Amino acid sequence: MSNKSYSPFKRAAGLASAIALGMAIYSPSYALNKVRVGSTVSPDADAVALCLAIDNGAFTKAGLDVQLQTFAQSNLKYDADKSGEQDIDINMGAINAAQLYSSGVPVVVLRAGTPADLWAVIARKDSKFTKPSDFRGQKYGVVSLSGVNYGATYLAFETDGVNLAKDVKVSTLPPSALVPALVKGEIAGATTFEPFLTAALKTGSVKVLFRPGAVYEQKYHHPLIALTIATNKNYLKNHREDVKKFMRVVEATRSTLAQHSAEAAVALVHHMPEAKMNVAAAKKLIDEYLPNAIKSENTPKFVGGVQQLYDQLLEAKQLKSPVKASDFWIDWTRL
Residues 254-267: pLDDT tens digits? 999 999 999 999 99
- Averaged pLDDT for residues 199-216: 95
3-state secondary structure of 27: coil
Do both 101 and 233 map to the same domain?
Answer: yes
- Binned at pLDDT 50, 70 and 90, residue 206 comes out as very high
Looking at per-residue confidence, does 92 or 149 come out higher? Answer: 92
Q: d(Cα 131, Cα 128) in Å, to the nearest integer?
A: 10
Do both 210 and 230 map to the same domain?
Answer: no
220, 249, 279 - which closes a domain: 220
Domain extent at residue 52: 3-115+224-334
Amino acid 264: pLDDT: 98
Do both 234 and 157 map to the same domain?
Answer: no
- Averaged pLDDT for residues 25-35: 71
Do both 233 and 328 map to the same domain?
Answer: yes
Angle of CA points 103, 236, 267, to nearest 5°? 95
Q: d(Cα 42, Cα 293) in Å, to the nearest integer?
A: 13
Amino acid 317: pLDDT: 79
Half-sphere exposure of 320 (CA within 13 A, CB side): 8
Do both 300 and 314 map to the same domain?
Answer: yes
Do both 248 and 216 map to the same domain?
Answer: no
Amino acid 3: pLDDT: 42
Write the burial class of residue 221 (CB in 10 Å: 0-12 exposed, 13-18 middle, 19+ buried): exposed
Amino acid 182: pLDDT: 98
Per-chain mean pLDDT for the chain: 90
Q: What are phi and psi of 293, to 5 degrees?
A: -60, 140
Tell me how far the alpha carbon of residue 309 is from its chain's centroid: 17
Do both 124 and 200 map to the same domain?
Answer: yes
**Total domains, the chain:** 2
The b/e string for 153-168 (b: 16+ C-beta within 10 A; e otherwise) is bbbbbbbeebebeebb
Looking at per-residue confidence, does 276 or 147 come out higher? Answer: 276
177, 201, 220 - which closes a domain: 220
Do both 264 and 329 map to the same domain?
Answer: yes
Element (H, E) at 120: strand 119-124
Do both 68 and 91 map to the same domain?
Answer: yes
Q: d(Cα 260, Cα 282) in Å, to the nearest integer?
A: 13
Amino acid 30: pLDDT: 65
DSSP 329: B
Residues 43-63: pLDDT tens digits? 999 999 999 999 999 999 999
Amino acid 313: pLDDT: 87
Task: Give residues with Cβ within 8 angstroms of 17, minimum separation 6.
Answer: none
- Binned at pLDDT 50, 70 and 90, residue 221 comes out as confident
Amino acid 298: pLDDT: 96
Residues 288-313: pLDDT tens digits? 999 999 999 999 999 999 999 999 88
Q: What percent of the chain has pLDDT over 70?
A: 91
Do both 36 and 184 map to the same domain?
Answer: no
Query: By the 8 A CB rule, do 81 and 89 touch?
Result: yes
- Averaged pLDDT for residues 210-225: 91
Do both 244 and 176 map to the same domain?
Answer: no
Do both 195 and 207 map to the same domain?
Answer: yes
Query: By the 8 A CB rule, do 100 and 107 touch?
Result: yes
Q: How many residues does the chain have?
A: 335
Amino acid 25: pLDDT: 40
Amino acid 5: pLDDT: 42
Q: d(Cα 117, Cα 104) in Å, to the nearest integer?
A: 29
Task: Give residues with Cβ within 8 angstroms of 244, minimum separation 6.
Answer: 332, 335
Amino acid 14: pLDDT: 52
Task: Report the CATH number at residue 214.
Answer: 3.40.190.10
220, 243, 274 - which closes a domain: 220
Half-sphere exposure of 315 (CA within 13 A, CB side): 9
